[in-house]
Structure formats: C-alpha cells, structure tokens
C-alpha cells in the first residue's frame, strides 16, 4: 500500500468544522477501505476525548481525534 493512498484515505475523515473521532482497525491492511472509519463527529474537544477514551484498545481499535487543521 502506498503512502499516498493512506494519506488520501485520512483526508476523507478531516472535518470542515468540529472534531471527528476516527477509528483505526489494527487488523486491517493500512490504506484499505476498512482500515479507517468514523466513530463520531462532535462540536467540542471534551466530548471527542470522552468518546476516544471509550474506544481506545477495544477489539483492536485505536481512536484518534481529527481536527479541521489535521491535513
């Protein structure tokens, strides 16, 4: 999988406003269509952090918070 493909997939989850909590399935091939998925969109960082804490480490998922400037 090329780095370009992985970066393009990440770009799809960068929000225009607010925060996206994005899950990374560690059992999928990086860059595959199922490797990243949207868990939630929030308007506050505090809410996004709370959701991320619930998902991290569960069943092979690592959660990240994407902000509008996470290009």
- Residue at 27 is within a domain: yes
The whole domain housing 44 covers 3-66
11-68 per-position pLDDT tens digit? 899 999 999 999 998 888 777 778 899 999 999 999 999 999 998 777 788 999 999 9
- Residue at 49 is within a domain: yes
| Total structural domains within the chain | 1
> How many CB atoms are located within 10 Å of the residue 43 CB?
10
DSSP output for 10-67? HHTT--SSSEEEEEEETTSPTTSTTTEEEEEEESSHHHHHHHHHHHTTGGGEEEEEE-
Place of tokens 């899950």: 23
- Residue at 55 is within a domain: yes
- Residue at 29 is within a domain: yes
- Residue at 71 is within a domain: no
- Residue at 36 is within a domain: yes
The predicted structure's pLDDT at residue 71: 59
């Amino acid at each position: 999988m090329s780095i370009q493909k992985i970066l393009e997939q990440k770009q799809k989850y960068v929000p225009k406003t607010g925060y996206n909590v994005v899950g990374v399935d560690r059992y999928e091939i990086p860059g595959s269509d199922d490797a990243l998925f949207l868990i939630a969109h929030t308007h506050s960082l505090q809410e996004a952090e709370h959701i991320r804490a619930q998902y991290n480490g569960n069943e092979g998922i690592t959660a990240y918070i994407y902000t509008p400037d996470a290009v």
